[in-house]
Amino acid sequence: MKSCLLIVNTFKKEARALADSITEFLKAQNVSVSEYAYDGTAVGAAEGKVKQLASSSDFVVTLGGDGTVLFASRECAELGIPVFPVNLGEFGFLAGVSQNAWQNELQNFLAGKSPVSERSLVACEVLRGGKTVFKTTALNDVVISSTAASRLINLEVAFNHALLGPFKANGIIVSTATGSTAYSAAAGGPIIDPSLDALLLTPISSFSLSARPLLFSPQGELAITMLPSRIQTGISADGQIDFALEPEDVIILRTAEKKAQLVASSQVQFYGALRSKLNWAGGPRA
């Protein structure tokens, strides 16, 4: 490991001082450091700049919360380089390295002793009139919903050309196993071990009480067709990338070819986060 890109979330007050400490530590290990200031936006220009900087780096260190990890991971997955996520946020399901432990964890990583977890992404493609008009990937989820709050939308869902039927709901969440702890969990979806390859479809406030979350094999694709409606709808990928939809648009969702690599994000860390962040327990004091 000879070069590192440091992505610093400028919204976090403690990030600047920590970035200086990590830079000093890495340079002492003969690792060159470049830096990108992340202000919370994830438009194309920002991700393009990160991809350019990361392409000449051996690994990326993120200083922020899970949102910063999501931002970095989409481009790093395509480049095949690992992300070392230091948690300055609240939950830390993805950013698994605490502020107090970063030096030991980083030393272990540079020595090849730190676990690296591979995480699946969901690839999203929008077809309009048979032509591709939008493509992206998401580490957590792709959400299809109305742009106004609490408005029912109509969709038709199929998996590998097998029709599941029409859905009437406030929206649909298609998440990875990693994203099962995010919006999908809040909408009533199951929590899935992040090492699994799977696509999880979770309706949001479905009009039908019989609608339930569905878990799909990664060997296949979901096709969601927007049925005619006067309600404006859109896509949100990882809550960071947005795209406006039109009636008759077809959204194709499948497991992405390349996986994100997260450092120090083991199963032990994941289940520990469930206990500590969600107060998960099986006893009467849960």
Catalytic residue among 20, 39, 58, 66: 66
pLDDT at residue 286 above 60? no
Q: Is 58 part of the annotated catalytic residue set? A: no
**Measured distance CA(117)–CA(128) in Å, rounded:** 36
Length of the chain: 286
Q: What share of the chain is helix, strand, coil (3-state, %, to 5)?
A: 25, 35, 40
Residue-wise DSSP of 200-211: EEEEES-SSTT-
Structural tokens at position 75:
């481009």
Mean pLDDT value of segment 160-179: 94
Nearest in space to 141 (alpha carbons), one of 192, 98, 92, 97: 192
Q: For residue range 95-118, what is the model confidence (pLDDT) as tens digits?
A: 889 899 999 999 999 999 998 999
At 283, is the pLDDT very low, low, confident or very high (cuts 50, 70, 90)? low
What per-residue confidence (pLDDT) applies to 91?
A: 66
Mean pLDDT value of segment 209-226: 92
Q: How far apart are the first and last CA of the chain?
A: 44
